[in-house]
Chain A
Amino acid sequence: MNSLNLYTKMISMTIKSQMEYKMSFILMSFGHFLITFIEFIGMYALFLRFDQINGWTIYEVACFYGLVNTSFAIAEAVGRGFDVFHVHVRKGTFDRFLLRPRNITMQIISSEFQLMRIGRMLQGLLVLAWGLYHLETQLLLSDYMIIIYAMVCAVFFFVGLMVFQATLSFWSIESLEIMNAFTYGGVQTAQYPMDIYKEWFQKIFIFVIPIGSVTYFPLAAVLKGGSYSQGLVMPILGFVFFGVGLLAFRIGTRYYCSTGS
């Protein structure tokens, strides 16, 4: 069986097991929907008081908000295996992964899949659709393509962050909370257009932790008539980030020292 077949098989089994407790699944998803939706209520209330932020309307900012939340939710569902990877390091169960004659990344990705993240994804999509619907400019098919492209890049970026977090756990499992600043902090930051922030801060999120490049440039091209080539090139940094993450992870596995038993 090739890796892709194996992946689909394992994920469908995980989903099946999560659907065994349907009521629990529905409540959890609804909980996720609600807890993330209050952020948008707050944002909406601010726009009632202020009208615009640096020339962006609520509908335009809603596109940023929707794009980043949808991508993050997909990444959380898909990359869950990396997110909880530190448990395997602490308990020493990572040994099992190393023994199996399969690609390690594939095994980790297919070990977990969190379906209940659909709550956040739905609210992200809803806000995105609402924002796009109310835009004054008529969007072309190519604009929609760019948005989907940015979304894919952003998913890779967020999974990349989780890979970095997993890598960190080879050295320390105590300070993993620091990654929250980048994951949840990245989401929080990218919910608004990058140009509202101070310059030094923008630079961090464009070049170091490139969620800004992934979401800002494509949407600036679509919404504000910014440069399309920039909108196409900059999100590649999301893939690069993911790639560097995998490389770091591979180096990390060499430092892995089993806890035994």
Chain B
Amino acid sequence: MKGLIAIFKMRFGLILNYRMAAIAGLFTQLFFGFVMVMIYYAFYESSGSLSNSGDLPMTITQTVTYLWLAQGLLGLLPWNGDREIYTIIRNGDYVYELVRPLDMYNFWLYRILAQRIAATILRAIPLFLLALYVIPAELRMQGPESLPLFLMFSASMVTAVILGGAISNIITISILFTIGDGIERLLPAIVTIFSGMVIPLAFFPDWAQPILQFLPFSGLVDSPYKFYLGIYGPSELLTVLIHQVLWTLVLVLFGRWMLEKASRRVIVQGG
């Protein structure tokens, strides 16, 4: 736990040094948010669903809020592994990782979690403030349905972040097996579309819903957001949390197994 806090502080300090990059990122995400929101607005408008969403799975306000949430929290999506660890695996500094008196899996997990959380906080807060209060009213994000629902959203976001860490770790560890372009190229596509980052999962055809809900990726984005939007209520909380925690356990065990297998194969060429 102490290690976690130390790594976290270090990472946070590091990212705070790149303020210009954060502002540039904020601008980019605000821009993408605008484009996405306007596209959906046009879809709703041209099908006459603005005031009455009919048989659409979400109302326009829910969709717009979902899109802004996704833009703000984009940094939490585990679409890649840890860049610096890629480098040390390639240049051989990986050996130092083996020497550290730390559990390597946990160390990597803490690193990626700290990195994602720090970067996201820095971008999400100003983005949400702008999306909630500043931008034109019809494109604006709405606050949470109620305080209890917001707390449930927060709880499932915490588990979502840890689940994301487990997925990131699998991507990072896979670098030990392939030389950079196997799973690392495939997983971003899978994570992005099945988490609900490309479009809200509810918009996919009805027949696909059971599969989408079963896969671990719905626990990253779609399920937590549904609490914020009031689509899920207290009765779904336990199911969502169990789904996230079970998948996290499975993926952590799988990652650990991969790492152990990889560590045995490592051959260090000189020093």
CB distance from A203 to the nearest CB of B (A): 14
Among residues 3 to 42 in chain B, which have CB atoms less than 8 Å away from a CB atom of chain A?
18, 20-21, 23-25, 27-28, 31-32, 34-36, 38-39, 42
How many Å from the CB of A34 to the closest CB on chain B?
Answer: 4
Contact A49 B56, beta carbon cutoff 8 Å: yes
What's the least CB distance linking B92 to chain A, in Å? 20
B182 beta carbon closer than 8 Å to chain A = yes
Which B residues lie within 8 Å of A185 (CB)?
Answer: 28, 31-32, 35
Q: Would you call A174 an interface residue if the criterion is a C-beta within 8 Å of the partner chain's C-beta atoms?
A: yes
Total number of B residues with any Cβ neighbor in A under 8 Å: 38
- Tell me how far the C-beta of A102 lies from the nearest C-beta in chain B, rounded to whole angstroms: 33
Q: 1/0 per residue A48-68: CB within 8 Å of B?
A: 111111110000000000000
Contact B185 A28 (CB under 8 A): yes
Interface contacts (Cβ under 8 Å), in number, total 102
Check B185 against A201 for contact (C-beta < 8 Å). no
Decide yes or no whether A141 CB sits under 8 A from chain B.
Answer: no
A53-B46 in contact given A38-B193, A185-B32, A189-B35 (Cβ < 8 Å): yes
A197 and B35 CA atoms in complex are apart in Å by 8
- CB of A46 within 8 A of CB of B189, answer no
Q: Mark B59-77, 1 if CB is under 8 A from A, else 0.
A: 0000000000000000000
Q: Which residues in chain A, 1-58, are within 8 Å of chain B measured between CB atoms?
A: 24, 27-28, 30-31, 34-35, 37-39, 41-42, 45-46, 48-55
Cα distance A192–B42 when bound, in Å? 11
**Interface size on A (CB < 8 Å)?**
39
- Complex Cα distance, B31 from A196, in Å, reads 16
A137 within 8 A of B: no
The interface residues of chain A lying within 8 Å CB-to-CB of B181 are 24, 27-28, 31
Q: Which residue of B lies closest to A49 (CB)?
A: B203
In the bound complex, how far is the Cα of B185 from the Cα of A27, in angstroms?
A: 8
Interface membership of A145, Cβ < 8 A: no
Q: Is A136 an interface residue (CB 8 A)?
A: no
A175 and B24 within 8 A (CB):
yes
CA distance A54 to B39 in the complex (A): 10
Q: Are A181 and B27 in contact (CB under 8 A)?
A: yes
B205 located at the interface, meaning its Cβ lies under 8 Å from any Cβ of chain A in the complex: yes
A198 at the interface (CB under 8 A from B): yes
CB neighbours of A180 from chain B (8 A): 24, 28
Determine if A178 and B24 form an interchain contact, defined as CB atoms under 8 angstroms apart: yes
Which residue of the partner chain A has the closest CB to B181?
A: A27
Bound CA span A51–B204, Å: 13
A35 with B189: CB separation less than 8 A = yes
Query: Is B42 in contact with A197, judged by CB distance below 8 angstroms?
Result: yes
In the complex, residue of chain A having the shortest beta-carbon distance to the beta carbon of B204 = A45
A253 close to B (CB within 8 Å): no
Beyond the given A175-B21, A185-B35, A198-B136, please list 15 additional residue pairs across the A-B interface where CB-CB is below 8 A. Answer: A37-B189, A39-B198, A42-B198, A45-B203, A50-B44, A50-B56, A52-B47, A53-B42, A175-B20, A175-B24, A177-B24, A181-B28, A181-B31, A184-B32, A197-B38
Chain A interfacial positions (CB closer than 8 Å to B): 24, 27-28, 30-31, 34-35, 37-39, 41-42, 45-46, 48-55, 172, 174-178, 180-181, 184-185, 188-189, 192, 196-198, 201
25 A-B interface contacts by CB (under 8 A): A24-B179, A27-B182, A28-B185, A34-B186, A34-B189, A37-B189, A38-B189, A38-B192, A39-B198, A41-B193, A45-B199, A45-B205, A49-B57, A50-B43, A54-B46, A175-B23, A177-B28, A180-B28, A181-B32, A184-B32, A185-B32, A185-B35, A188-B32, A189-B35, A197-B38
